[in-house]
């Protein structure tokens, strides 16, 4: 079962699982996920419309499941700043519902999507899984709490859990329209429409941009990994750092345009610098990024070109 399977990352995970002839159940309430993300595969999946906050719905959906890839969440740091209570209800209570229902149903393993935001804005780079967690946003705090719950369920109940800390994921099916949209889809669609993208801050903030195919691969590896992976968390990224200004330059080269961004004040809760150490995922999961930043950006641009 893929929770949030109609979302950006979840729908990419679902499509890869179907390529591998897996039997896939999608659990989504379409609050941030989109029906168009599962267009063309509706007949290949079992779709259950439900809210992660509704334990009875989650419990009913868990029957017969071998592995849960828990992607369902309320994304976005700014959204969490504006509505911390809803953020907690979905991201923490929802995760607890998934873990409890999985335990009760005898599920083999739960792979939990987490975030680099759990590290906060500590100056030490690259981020290593053993670092003290210091989130600076309600979103980061909710992801840290869900991680701790997952580890506790392994230690107390023996439910196999694996946590994946995603770093700045981008790619096809990412929503560019919301006020909470990530930087890459916003920039691409703005430039394709002949508009100036907005940079919050000075543009010198760095990100370990991670194409979605790398995250999909990490999920499958985590679902199938041996005992060494159980109860652990792993950074998932490319292990490379780029500024937002680098992003603008690279995008300009791909589209052969001179991009002149607009600069506005930075957002509350935003981290200044982000870079992951992925040696643990390499060692234990056998993870290796399959698509690097520029190639991923080219693929993403091509996808949006057909839709803008």
User: Sign of the C-alpha dihedral, residues 131, 269, 174, 303?
Assistant: negative
The model's confidence at residue 258, banded by pLDDT at 50, 70 and 90, is: very high
Q: Which of 191, 154, 184, 152 is nearest to 170 (CA)?
A: 184
Query: Can 157 be counted among the known catalytic residues?
Result: no
Residue pLDDT, tens place only, 178-198? 877 899 999 999 999 999 999
Output the pTM of the full model: 0.96
Residue pLDDT, tens place only, 20-41? 999 999 999 999 999 999 999 9
d(CA 176, CA 184): 8
The model's confidence at residue 308, banded by pLDDT at 50, 70 and 90, is: confident
- Inform me whether the pLDDT recorded for 246 exceeds 90: yes
Strands 210-211 and 160-166: unpaired
Considering 139, 154, 166, 287, which one is annotated as catalytic? 139
Tokens of 172: 């096809």
Residue pLDDT, tens place only, 65-89? 999 999 999 999 999 999 999 999 9
- Inform me whether the pLDDT recorded for 269 exceeds 90: no
Predicted local confidence at residue 267, as pLDDT: 85
**pLDDT mean over 227-247:** 97
Measured CA to CA in angstroms, residue 128 lies from 136, 152, 234, 275, 281 at distances of 17, 21, 9, 9, 11
The domain defined by 2-171+211-239+275-290 folds into Rossmann fold (3.40.50)
d(CA 141, CA 132): 13
Above pLDDT 70, what percent of the chain? 100
- Inform me whether the pLDDT recorded for 243 exceeds 90: yes
Q: Which of 268, 255, 270 is nearest to 195 (CA)?
A: 255
- Inform me whether the pLDDT recorded for 167 exceeds 90: yes
**pLDDT mean over 112-119:** 97
Burial bucket for residue 20 (CB in 10 Å: 0-12, 13-18, 19+): exposed
Above pLDDT 90, what percent of the chain? 95
d(CA 141, CA 114): 11
Strands 233-236 and 242-243: unpaired
Domain ranges of the chain: 2-171+211-239+275-290
Check: CB of residue 76 under 8 Å from CB of residue 180: yes
**Could you give the count of Cα atoms lying within 13 Å of 235 in the half-sphere of its Cβ?**
29
Predicted local confidence at residue 159, as pLDDT: 98
Predicted local confidence at residue 48, as pLDDT: 98
The model's confidence at residue 117, banded by pLDDT at 50, 70 and 90, is: very high
The model's confidence at residue 133, banded by pLDDT at 50, 70 and 90, is: very high
């Amino acid at each position: 079962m893929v929770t949030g399977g109609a979302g950006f990352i979840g729908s990419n995970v679902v499509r890869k699982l179907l390529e591998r002839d897996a039997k896939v159940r999608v659990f989504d309430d379409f609050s941030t996920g989109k029906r168009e993300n599962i267009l063309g595969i509706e007949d290949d999946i079992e779709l259950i419309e439900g809210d992660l906050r509704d334990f009875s719905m989650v419990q009913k959906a868990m029957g017969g499941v071998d592995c849960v890839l828990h992607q369902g969440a309320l994304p976005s740091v700014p959204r969490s700043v504006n509505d911390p209570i809803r953020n907690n209800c979905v991201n923490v209570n929802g995760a607890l519902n998934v873990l409890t229902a999985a335990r009760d149903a005898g599920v083999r393993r739960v792979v939990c999507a987490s975030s680099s935001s759990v590290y906060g804005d500590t100056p030490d780079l690259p981020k290593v899984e053993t670092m003290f967690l210091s989130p600076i946003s309600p979103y980061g705090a909710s992801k840290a709490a869900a991680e701790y719950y997952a580890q506790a369920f392994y230690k107390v109940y023996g439910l196999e859990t694996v946590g994946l800390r995603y770093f700045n994921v981008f790619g096809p099916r990412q929503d560019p329209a919301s006020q909470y949209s990530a930087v890459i889809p916003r920039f691409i669609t703005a430039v394709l429409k002949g508009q100036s993208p907005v940079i919050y801050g000075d543009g010198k903030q760095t990100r370990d941009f991670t194409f979605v195919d790398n995250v999909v691969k990490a999920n499958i590896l985590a679902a199938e990994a041996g005992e060494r992976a159980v109860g652990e968390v792993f950074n998932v990224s490319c292990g490379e750092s780029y500024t937002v200004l680098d992003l603008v330059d690279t995008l300009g080269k791909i589209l052969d345009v001179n991009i002149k961004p607009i600069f506005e004040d930075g957002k509350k809760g935003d981290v200044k610098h982000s870079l992951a150490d992925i040696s643990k995922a390499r060692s234990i999961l056998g993870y290796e990024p399959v698509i690097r930043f520029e190639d991923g950006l080219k693929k993403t641009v091509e996808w949006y070109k057909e839709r803008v």
